[in-house]
Amino acid sequence: MLFPQGEFIKLKEYLVLYECALENIITRVEILLKDFVNFQAYNPIEHYKFRLKNSESIADKLHRQGHDITAENARNILTDIAGVRIICSYSRDVFHIAEMLKRQTDIKVRSEKDYVTKPKPSGYRSYHLILDVPIFLTDKSESLPVEVQIRTQAMDFWASLEHKVKYKYERRMPEHISLDLVDCAEKIAELDERMYLIQEIVDMAYLHKDPVIKDPIAIERAFDVR
């Protein structure tokens, strides 16, 4: 799908604003990272990525949702033109990072979806925030939505596989594959939890100078992680 010529020019102008809002959120994530790395005991952010939707995928999404392909519709209807994905180590970190963004007083939380506590039927787990980000131009200010997805590495691994599979089957995935993916998602959530517990135990043992730290198998047995 493509935007008609006049609409495309208008969309390009809007995309400049979305790019500014995206850069604004990236800067906030970079500041959190600098704080974690330099002043905190632990950095929960493994990495982050970002993207601005291109005009074709904006047009496709509007069309899929039954809307006319206009720049106004893109601006008024879509909230994921600008997106940032933050990948954390453990699921607790996901909530921690979400709170840090939510309490920044100059951005407004337009919506919030916790698919970590309540996964989607597909098995999808992630924390979604739509943040209204202010940008100050030469003669006016605007507020643009940026979608922030926060998830663990394991959740991200699952989501990219599921996305690829869904794309290959043009969104009509055979039932046995979707059931298998739901099972993988559950196992991944269990692994996330177990690995978090191992890390907590090791941290505690270090803190208390416990000799059991030298024997990782003994750590698991001692604390009955499995």
Question: Which residue, 113 or 221, is less far from ligand 0O2 as judged by CB?
Answer: 113
Question: Which residue, 33 or 182, is less far from ligand 0O2 as judged by CB?
Answer: 182
Q: Is 7 a catalytic residue?
A: no
Q: What is the largest CA-CA distance in the chain?
A: 71
Side-chain half-sphere CA neighbours of 91 within 13 A: 20
Residue with the closest Cβ to ligand 0O2? Answer: 124
Which of these is catalytic: 7, 147, 162, 193? 147
> Could you give the 3-state DSSP secondary structure of residue 219?
helix
CB of 131 to ligand 0O2, least distance (A): 13
CB of 164 to ligand 0O2, least distance (A): 9
Which among 155, 134, 35 has a CA at the least distance from the CA of 86?
Answer: 155
Query: What is d(CA 88, CA 98) in angstroms, rounded to the nearest whole number?
Result: 11
85 neighbors 146 (Cβ within 8 angstroms) = no
> Could you give the 3-state DSSP secondary structure of residue 18?
helix
Question: Which residue, 28 or 125, is less far from ligand 0O2 as judged by CB?
Answer: 125
CB of 139 to ligand 0O2, least distance (A): 32
CB of 128 to ligand 0O2, least distance (A): 4
Q: Of all helices (H) and strands (E), which one includes residue 154?
A: helix 153-168
Question: Which residue, 2 or 37, is less far from ligand 0O2 as judged by CB?
Answer: 2
Beta-strand pair 127-136/108-114:
antiparallel
Which residues form the interface with ligand 0O2 (CB under 6 A)? 80, 113, 120, 122, 124, 128, 159, 162-163
Residues annotated as catalytic (active site), given as ranges: 147
